[in-house]
Amino acid sequence: MAGAESDNRPTSFIPQEELVTATAEAERIQSNCGLFAMIDVSGSIGGYDLADATYRAGKKVQHRAEGDAGYGVFDSRGSGEFVRGKGKIDVAFQNGRLIPIVPDGRIAIIHTRYPTSGDSDHMPNIQPMSLDEITLAHHGNLTNAKGVRDRLGKIEWGGNFPDNDSWVALNAIARAEGQSLEERMVNAQRKFEGGWAFIATDGKGIVASRDPEGIRPLFFGVIGSWENPKAFALAVEDSALKVEGLEIDTYREVLPGETISIKGKEAITVDLSPAPNQRSCIFEIVYMMDPDSKFMGHNIATARIKAGELLWQENPIHVEEGDQITIMPVPDSGRDYETGYFRAAHRALGNRVDRVEGLKKKRYEGRSFIQPTGKRNPSERFMVIPELVKGKKVLLVDDTLVRGDTMGGGKKLEGLVFMLRNAGASEVHVRLGAPAIVNPCYWGVAFPTREELSAHNYPDINERARILGVDSLGYLSLNGLFEACGADNETREKFCTYCFGGNGPRKVPTSLGIDSGTIDLIELKIIRK
């Protein structure tokens, strides 16, 4: 990190890198937020470098959410400036041109959002959001948001105001007992249920917290040393702490139930109230996190490659002598899994397995945001190279199958299976590096209803394969996933595996119509209407 900025720095921020307008299409599953914040506690970073590092870190967590983006910066007097927009960060902020440069900037927060609660087109829902001199950025879902709102009584709602669970949380914090922001945060959180990571500021310091079960991740790092810090940073993934301009090596996970207060050069834990059992989201490892991130002590790419190897052990493919099958990944999500699967298959079958990328992700220019539902026809996102597929038996490897929109099948033009068959593949097999998703997620990943899940709609795997139009379908077992994550018997209990039919948080919202897929967060939308 450079020192104080020079006088000839530009007054609007443009990242010092080649501007690329051709971007990869969005993935089909999203969590609700990417989140990063930084506080300069020494006054030595400078406004430009604060903006530069925050912008880069925001792009590093862009894969988590692509619906809209917000940025807030506070100067040494606690005065804030904000910019918000729809789409990816580069679109929302015009490749950085809209990012305000505050010469004596001290605190910066960047947030990317995929709406899991509230109206996706409602601009006031873009974070960070402010109320009564408190600014909040939130990752996760409050499953009792309606109950919290009811207890608060009258709050401004809709129109020029937000209408989601983050706004409920901010109102609860603003009204909570306490003289300081950290006191209000701690007191308000005691009545929250769900999974969350909060970063809040009053313009003078930062208070950050993680839910008691540690469902949603949050990392905390220091530039300099804990004893003599220059700046502190918080991020939903540790890889965001290592981008150019930061390169933070000294960091840790915020503990379940921990609330951290940063004032001046002091960062202290002001509350530590974990639940009896940790339930960190295993889907972070399966899908959400970047390959170069770590979670619960394990590298994400390594875990996914291992999952692919175990997937072969559990779901091999029979290939006759003199025959051959071509293994290929679904880009980009299936690459690490395919690496492991091919390694294991090649060890067992030698030249009877081939490896090509006959399926490519399209790159396109222009606006890079996606539909709020995350759905685009696979034929718009992917292309098949017929010369690499025609006449071949293809085995496609991906991470998960949630709704089945991407795989498609049958006569669905947009389905990858149909695309491969149309390009001349003689057989199409599918292998998935995680168990079947049988339950919705209410804690921050965007499949909140049971009815949208392929495994719920077609419980029999053979029927599911028929609907998808594949010759065979195989999943990694939950025990296999645990092994890939390096989880022993004790660590297994620390993961939330509810979506895969395993352990969930202590309060699954059964009283809110879980069987019908109607939950508290959806009731917020009903209220607004």
Nearest to 529 by CA among 116, 168, 166, 159: 159
C-alpha distances out from residue 30 to 37, 263, 408, Å: 21, 33, 19
Identify the three-state secondary structure at position 505. coil
Distance (Å, rounded) from C-alpha 492 to C-alpha 501? 14
Identified catalytic residue from 33, 281, 485, 496: 33
All residues at 6 or more sequence positions from 296 whose CB lies less than 8 Å from its CB, including other chains: 253, 280, 285, 485, 491, 494, 495
Written as one letter, the residue type at 171 is N
Q: How far is CA 134 from the centre of its chain?
A: 25
Distance (Å, rounded) from C-alpha 444 to C-alpha 29? 11
Identify the three-state secondary structure at position 283. helix
Task: Report the relative pairing of strands 393-398 and 427-432 from DSSP bridges.
Answer: parallel
Written as one letter, the residue type at 97 is R
Written as one letter, the residue type at 476 is L
**Structure tokens belonging to residue 351:** 């030249």
Distance (Å, rounded) from C-alpha 254 to C-alpha 233? 12
Cβ burial 58-87 (10 Å sphere, 16+ → b, else e): bbbbbbbbbbbbbbbbbbeeeebebbbbbb
* Rama region for 214: left / alpha / beta (φ>0; ψ in -120 to 50; rest): left
Active site residue 281: no
Contact 305, 486 (CB under 8 A): no
Sign of the Cα pseudo-torsion (463, 465, 468, 470, in order): negative
Catalytically annotated residues: 33
